[in-house]
Amino acid sequence: MAQTKKLLRSLAGETLPTPPVWMMRQAGRYLPEYRATRARAGDFLSLCYNSDLAAEVTLQPIRRYGFDAAILFADILLLPQALGADVWFVTGEGPRLSTITGAEGLTRLKGKDDIHDHLAPIYDTLRILTRELPSHTTLIGFAGAPWTVATYMIAGRGTPDQGPAHALKTADRTIFEALIDLLTEASIEYLSMQVMAGAEVIKLFDSWAGSLNGEDFAKYALAPAKRIISELKARHPGLPVIAFPRQAGEAYIGFAKETGADGLAIDAAVDPHWAARHLQPDGCVQGNLDPKHMVTGGPALVEETRAIVAALKTGPHIFNLGHGITPDADPDNVHRMLEAIRG
């Protein structure tokens, strides 16, 4: 079946006449069926840990749009919760966590091998999806990259500049690096179990990679990704991995080759012609329509979609957004995007 799934073919380096397509956060609040299912679950975390309902919301955009891939419905903060951090969500504001600001907070966390009982419902969701997805649809598992997850664990919430994580990195490099190391090793165990449960592709989301510069980018974005990808491929030969060091700028160049990633997701700020010249020679590029077009629609949506496809048509390409679709998106605009891609 792997040979017939378009997304796997692109990740293997094949240039297809029409690129496979899926969207980050494609199961989400812009869909009325998602909102209804989340209401049944009661709250966001309950939805993540209810395997039947999490599988249902993963399947909803596949039924509606026929995407070439489904991505597991979960959250990057389930891993720190499995490690022993307190995690909760504030309606309208987002996630909150207990903070790691020194040695005491770090010592309260569990080890990398003690996460699986907590995460068992996530693996069950994947098993359900392997049975329920259409035969041509690729199943993607994922985790947050260590730096991005660490920024939430250190600050206790999302921040505009990841300032608390940078401050801890400067003030106590030993504690900071111990947290990065723990998250790297725990991510390997978590993602390996996802593959064993049915994930065919793994995606590593480093949403805040762009706030790292120079040596820090190499040490805390590139090196952990390389370690995770190398170990996953050693355990699961042939496993494709997509890396997303968002807002990496020039540091996108060589990232896939250095880490061993088969695909490199790029954000909406990257010119697709630049990506074709500098990134596609190393493998598949994924991206990168600005999510705002899913809200505004109109001719600009169609024109920009076609321009991205044209710019990246001479190499392996997976069409996606440059970041996740937003709650205010119009579901009809997704149909317009797909028509522009597929004709």
Give the orientation angle of helix 173-197 with respect to helix 223-235, to 10 degrees: 30
Is residue 183 within 8 Å of residue 149, measured between CB atoms? yes
Tokens of 97: 């966590």
Helices and strands (H and E) in the chain: how many: 17, 9
Residue 69: phi, psi to the nearest 5?
A: -145, 150
User: Smallest Cα–Cα separation from 231: which of 187, 179, 289, 169?
Assistant: 187
Residue 315: phi, psi to the nearest 5?
A: -145, 175
Query: 272 in the Ramachandran plot: left (φ > 0), alpha (ψ -120 to 50) or beta?
Result: alpha
Give the three-state DSSP class for 307: helix
Give the three-state DSSP class for 99: coil
Catalytic residues: 25, 29, 38, 75, 152
Centre a 10 Å sphere on the Cβ of residue 116 and count the other Cβ atoms it contains: 14
